[in-house]
Amino acid sequence: MSYHQLPPPDTILLAPSHPISSRWWSKETVAIVTGANKGIGFALVRRLAEEGVTVVLTARDTGRGVEAAESLRREGLQNVHFFQLDVANPNSINTFAAWFQEAFGVVDILINNAAVSFNEIHENSVAEAETVIRTNFYGPKMLTEALLPLFRRSSTGARILNISSRLGLLNKLKNPKLKEMLLDEENLSEEQIEGMVNLFLENVKNGTWKSQGWPHVWTDYAVSKLALNAYSRVLARRFKTHGLTVNCFCPGFTQTSMTGGKGNHTADAAATVGARLVLLPAEELSTGKFYVVGSSNAFYSKL
């Protein structure tokens, strides 16, 4: 399915090789990719830099981040820059935002990729649920809010892409009250989403999480992505007429450290699709959507 044949209404299949119809970006276009010292984040930095975009690679570990950026510069990608960022730490976010404003002034593309999971493929412990929620949901939310004043206002449109997962789709949620709340898109609020997250953490603490209708696979990770998807829809609604698109992208079962190297495709393949998505011309890019890597099966989702 091509980029020019986007199926309604909420989930879009992306073909990995379809060309972008027009080039709107230049070396003055600035992108930020979090959690980018390896895996999909690193591959996204490379793809965007290869297209001529100026990219800020961020990572929690300074040494690994520096080495990742230097390795790309050794490939000839001199438009890659590094700054340390731990999205789970509000002080780190504030430091990064202040540095970025001084160094670049404006941002065109933000890719919230940084995320954690502490489970093996077939495990489902919630022992680290607070860390997972803080990193995967609150991290992108706090960083996005810190950078909102810096997004460039232009006819090409600024873009936020939240790397998500089908594990966080509504069909994985069996709690009818929560599902009803999330389906009420026009009235859904950030406070309601945070209330849902707090309820989950309370259920984890009192040991009732297995019986409360939460997703059954990688539960803490799935809830963090469920919340991120919902927040993305709220943010997309808020900025729909302000030249800022907000979407989610599920790279699918990808060969990364999080999956123990297992998967149906490489991080480079997933990043090729993700990079094409954020580089779509403004007239072809929707907002408030859940994008998935193209396949023979369609997926429907309410964010």
Give the helix, strand, coil percentages of the chain, each rounded to 5.
Answer: 45, 15, 40
- 222-225: long-range pairs with CB below 8 Å, 24+: 222/165, 222/167, 222/168, 222/172, 223/129, 223/133, 223/168, 223/197, 224/115, 224/132, 224/133, 224/135, 224/136, 224/137, 224/168, 224/197, 225/136, 225/137, 225/164, 225/165, 225/167, 225/168
Catalytic residue among 3, 138, 221, 231: 221
Instruction: Compute the chain's Rg from CA coordinates.
Output: 18
Q: Is 221 a catalytic residue?
A: yes
Question: What single letter denotes the amino acid at residue 127?
Answer: A
Measured between alpha carbons, how far is 134 from 147 in angstroms, rounded to an integer? 18
Would you put residue 157 in left (φ > 0), alpha (ψ -120 to 50) or beta?
left
Strand order in the sheet with 109-112: 11-14, 290-293, 244-250, 158-163, 109-112, 30-33, 54-59, 80-84
Alpha helices in 148-285 (DSSP H): 176-183, 190-205, 219-238, 267-278
DSSP 128-164: THHHHHIIIIIHHHHHHHHHGGGB--STT-EEEEEE-
Contact criterion met (CB below 8 Å) for 170 and 179:
yes
SS3 state of residue 280? coil
Measured between alpha carbons, how far is 178 from 167 in angstroms, rounded to an integer? 16
Q: Where in the sequence numbering do the catalytic residues fall?
A: 221
